[in-house]
Amino acid sequence: MHTIDELNSILSEADCLINEAQLNEALDKMAEQISGDLAEKMPLVICVMNGGLLPTAALLQRLQFPLELDYVHASRYGLETTGSDLNWTRYPQTEFKGRDVLIVDDIFDQGHTVEAIIKWFEANGAKNVYSATVVNKLHDRKVEMRPDYIGLDVEDRFLFGYGMDYQGYFRNLQGIYAVKGK
Ligand SMILES: O=P(O)(O)OC[C@H]1O[C@H](OP(=O)(O)OP(=O)(O)O)[C@H](O)[C@@H]1O
Ligand SMILES: Nc1nc2[nH]cnc2c(=O)[nH]1
């Protein structure tokens, strides 16, 4: 349990790696690319909760074409997790067989989460599965695939803000921060 003073001090000491203007510029570009690919496809957009909430809302505001929205909740557990070791607590409720699907999440870190979700949609009948993450963490511990749309590369530190949490807090921040010393 953290006190509000502890949390405020973590935030005030953290490094802001990506500010709101940089986020908006990256989201504008992602939305442009997504619109180029999917504007005629009536896609189903899938928000990966919880981290995907802010990125999904930000992209939807920028996509001016017919689409549907649903969400999944799938989280990793354990350090050696592989693609199939996601803990699913919510599956999509919208029909997606034969449809184009766009998965939206906050971060592509090792990539197991997005890779496993893509595989699940493909195995269950989606036509094409695209993926978008606001950030891609730079290191060499990744799965082979990469999201189709990536906003920004970011250094290999523990991040929070804009969907990502620090022990449950700070998903709401309009910027991406790294914990001091981590
Ligand atoms: O690329 P990976 O190494 O798989 O990590 C990325 C995933 O980790 C976080 O989710 P988390 O499981 O922490 O759940 P949350 O979205 O509820 O925070 C994040 O939102 C991504 O979904
Ligand atoms: N909050 C948070 N969640 C993550 N999931 C995968 N990488 C990260 C990270 O750097 N921060």
Confidence (pLDDT) at 182 = 81
How far is ligand 2, taken at its centre, from the CA of residue 75, in Å?
Answer: 11
Establish if 2 belongs to a structural domain.
no
Q: How far apart are CA 74 and CA 48, in angstroms?
A: 7
- Residue 133 CA: which ligand is closest? 1
Question: Which stretches in the chain have pLDDT values below 70?
Answer: 77-84
Range of the domain at 141: 20-157
Establish if 136 belongs to a structural domain.
yes
Confidence (pLDDT) at 77 = 56
Establish if 172 belongs to a structural domain.
no
Total domains in the fold of the chain: 1
* Nearest CA owner, ligand 1 atom 7: 113
Confidence (pLDDT) at 19 = 98
Establish if 78 belongs to a structural domain.
yes
Q: What is the CATH number of the domain that holds 33?
A: 3.40.50.2020
Residues 97-143 have pLDDT tens digits of 999 999 999 999 999 999 999 999 999 999 999 999 999 999 999 99
Q: Which conformational region is residue 62 in: left (phi greater than 0), alpha (psi within -120 to 50 degrees), or beta? A: alpha
Contact of 63 with 80, CB cutoff 8 Å? no
Q: Quick one: which atom of ligand 2 is closest to the CA of 165?
A: 1
pTM for the model: 0.95
